[in-house]
Structure 1
């Protein structure tokens, strides 16, 4: 998917996703010429890696 679609899926603006990419942050991407694409599995992995454990979530997992 393109940057606009990926940003929508992540709930952020396209410019925020562009900025993260330029800073070497954010989800993995594919660059073909001047075009940038994101794979669904890379966005899913990025979201999964962003999960923050809390005391309450650790207690319910035990």
Structure 2
């Protein structure tokens, strides 16, 4: 069995999206793929890019792409520590 990654899709009705990016065979994801996986709209990703906010991205060959590892780091950074996390 190859070490392939699985990206768990966000529930459509979730108010706050718990994103679990485990692994993916793709090196780069499009904005649409990120949107489908996380529930964050393509337009929000675009706004974040213009404001230099959100996850890191790659500009390549007239396209915008996201590395799965960059998404993972971004969501870890956004994680709120609570008293239960001792």
Give the structure-2-normalised TM-score: 0.61
Q: Which has the higher helix share?
A: 1
RMSD between superposed Cα atoms in Å = 1.3
Aligned pair count reads 58
- Unmatched 5+ stretches in structure 2: 1-28
CA-to-partner distance for each residue in 1:14-61, whole Å, 9 max, x for gaps?
A: 101111111100001000142100011111111111100122334xxx
Unaligned runs of 5+ in 1: none
The residue aligned with 1:40 is: 68
Query: Structure 1-normalised TM-score?
Result: 0.81
